[in-house]
Structure 1
Amino acid sequence: MAEQAATRRTKVPVRLGLIVICAGGFMDAYSYLLHDHVFATGQTGNIVLLCMNLADGAWLGVSHYLVSILAFVAGIMLSRHVLVRVHGRATHRMQRWVAVFEALAFAVVALLPEGAPDLLVNSAISFCAAVSYENFRQFGTRSAYASVFCTGNLRSLGETLYDGIFEKDRHELHRSARYAGLVASFCVGAVACKLLIGVTGKFACLAISALFLLSLRYIVDPDA
C-alpha cells in the first residue's frame, strides 16, 4: 500500500503522456490507412459495426469485428495479470515492460509479409493499444488521460477550459493547455503516419517502436 501511495504522489512527466498519445495517433492512422480503414485503438466503432452485422445476419462480419474486440479485452487482462502477478503492482516497472513490449510488437508488425490479413494486423494493433491504454493513464500529479484516443481528453479539455475561463481557476487553465497538447500530439502522430507511409509503406510503424523506446526516458521510479 505504501508503494501504491508513493506511485500516486509521484509527478508523471507531461512529456511521457505526449509521447505515448502520439504513438496512439500513429496506431490509429496506420490501421486505417493500410488495413481496411479500421480504427484499431478505440472499440466503440467496432462494437457498433458488430451489431449492424448481427442485425443483418452477416456472421462473417460479426466474427471480423468480434476478434478485434476480444483482442482488446485480452490486452487489458494480460496487462492486469502482469502488473499484479509479475510486477507486484509497481506501475513504473510495468510501464517499462510495456514500452519494451510495444517497441518489439510493432517491429514484428513491420516485418509481417505484404499479404498478411488485415484482421490479423488490426487485432495485433488492438491488443497493443489496450496494453498502452491500461498502463499509461496519468500525467502531472493528478491528471488522468486516455493514451490511445481523444474523446475523454476532449471532455477533460472542455471541463478544465471552462473552469479556467469562467471560474477564474488559473491551475485548471494550465491543465487545459496540457490536454490541448495531448490532443495535438495525437494529431501529430496521425499526420506523421500518413507522411511516413508515403515514404516507407508498412515500415512506418517502426516509428511507433521508436516512440515507445523514447518513452523509457521519462518513466519515473517513485523510489529514485
Structure 2
Amino acid sequence: MSAESAESAGTQAPDAGARGVRLVPGLLVLTVVSGLIDAVSYLGLGHVFTANMTGNVVVLGFAAAGAPGFSVPHTLTSLVSFLVGAVAGGRVAVRLGGGSRRTWARSTFAAEAVLLGVSAAVAFAAPHATATAYALIAVTAFAMGLRNATVRKLGVADLTTTVLTMTLTGLASDSRAGGGAGTHSPRRTASVAAMLAGAALGAWLVLHHGLGIPLLVTAVAVAVLAVTVSGRE
C-alpha cells in the first residue's frame, strides 16, 4: 500500500475508541447514579452512605459516639467494601489503563452495572431481611469503589462522580466573583446539578417504591453507558 493510500485509509477509518458518548456526559450520568445510590443507602439501609465515603467517616464517628440512628457495623461494611472495590479498580487500571480508554471504561462500567443489577435483584427478592441490608451495602459500596478508582485514573477534571466538596470549592474560588476566570463553571455546575437530581429522584423512588426500583434504574443507566461510552472527554 502506498503512503497516499495509507493516509487515505487512516482518514476514512477513525480511531474506534473515539466512537460513542463522550466521557464528560457519561460521568455526569454516573454522578446522577451516585445520588440515587446514596439515597438508597442513607434512607433505606440505616443512615449509611455507599458512594460518599467522606460522609461515611463522619457517620462512623456519630455511630461510635452512640448517636441514635447510626450503625457502626453498617458503616464499617460500607467503608471496607468500598476500599476493596477501589483496590480492584486499581488492578483493572494497571491491566487495561495502557490500552484503549473506551475498552477500559466500558469494562469497568459493565462490572458496575452487573453489581447494581445483582443489588436490585436482592432488594426485590428479600426487601426486609437483615442480611439484605448488609448485602446491598457491601455490593453497592464495592461497585462505587471500583468506579471511583477508575474515574480517578481516567483523570477527567472536575468530575469525581461521588463527592462535591472540591467541586463546590473550585466553583466558588475560581469564579469571577472569587477573582478567577470561571472557565470550568459549566462542568462543575452540571456536576452539582446531577448529584442533586439523582438524590432527589432516588429519595422519591425509595419513599414511594422501595429499594428495588431505584437500584434497577441505576443498573440500567450504567449498563447503557457500558455499551455507548467512548474514550474521549
Select the structure of larger CA radius of gyration: 2
Picking from 143, 167, 184, the partner of 1:153 is 167
Pairs within 5 Å for 1:1-224: 13-51=23-61, 62-85=72-95, 87-90=96-99, 91-112=101-122, 113-114=126-127, 115=129, 116-137=131-152, 143-161=157-175, 164-165=176-177, 167=179, 169=181, 173-204=182-213, 205-216=215-226, 219-221=229-231
CA-CA distance at 1:200 after TM superposition: 3.3
Judged with a 3 Å threshold, the aligned counterparts in structure 2 of structure 1 residues 166 and 201 are, in CA distance, closer, same or farther, namely closer
**For the residues of structure 2 that align with 1:138 and 1:84, how far apart are their CA atoms?**
10
Indicate if the aligned counterparts of 2:52 and 2:162 stay in contact, CA closer than 8 A: yes
Judged with a 3 Å threshold, the aligned counterparts in structure 2 of structure 1 residues 217 and 182 are, in CA distance, closer, same or farther, namely farther
**For the residues of structure 1 that align with 2:162 and 2:195, how far apart are their CA atoms?**
8
Indicate if the aligned counterparts of 2:85 and 2:143 stay in contact, CA closer than 8 A: yes
Secondary structure of 1:207 counterpart:
helix
CA-CA distance at 1:54 after TM superposition: 5.4
Indicate if the aligned counterparts of 1:71 and 1:123 stay in contact, CA closer than 8 A: yes
Q: Deviations along 1:51-72, whole A, 9 cap, x unmatched?
A: 565577xxxx554432221111
Indicate if the aligned counterparts of 1:137 and 1:144 stay in contact, CA closer than 8 A: no
Q: Deviations along 1:82-107, whole A, 9 cap, x unmatched?
A: 2213x253343221012111111111
Judged with a 3 Å threshold, the aligned counterparts in structure 2 of structure 1 residues 155 and 31 are, in CA distance, closer, same or farther, namely same
Judged with a 3 Å threshold, the aligned counterparts in structure 2 of structure 1 residues 67 and 137 are, in CA distance, closer, same or farther, namely same
The match for 2:7 is: none
Count, aligned residues: 202
Indicate if the aligned counterparts of 1:22 and 1:189 stay in contact, CA closer than 8 A: yes
Judged with a 3 Å threshold, the aligned counterparts in structure 2 of structure 1 residues 218 and 153 are, in CA distance, closer, same or farther, namely farther
**For the residues of structure 1 that align with 2:156 and 2:121, how far apart are their CA atoms?**
39
CA-CA distance at 1:177 after TM superposition: 2.1
CA-CA distance at 1:122 after TM superposition: 1.4
Secondary structure of 2:174 counterpart:
helix
**For the residues of structure 1 that align with 2:165 and 2:180, how far apart are their CA atoms?**
25
Identity over the aligned pairs, expressed in percent? 23
Q: Deviations along 1:168-207, whole A, 9 cap, x unmatched?
A: 62xxx24112201110011111111122234532222111
Q: What TM-score does the superposition give when structure 1 sets the normalisation length?
A: 0.77
**For the residues of structure 2 that align with 1:93 and 1:165, how far apart are their CA atoms?**
41
Q: What TM-score does the superposition give when structure 2 sets the normalisation length?
A: 0.74
CA-CA distance at 1:216 after TM superposition: 3.5
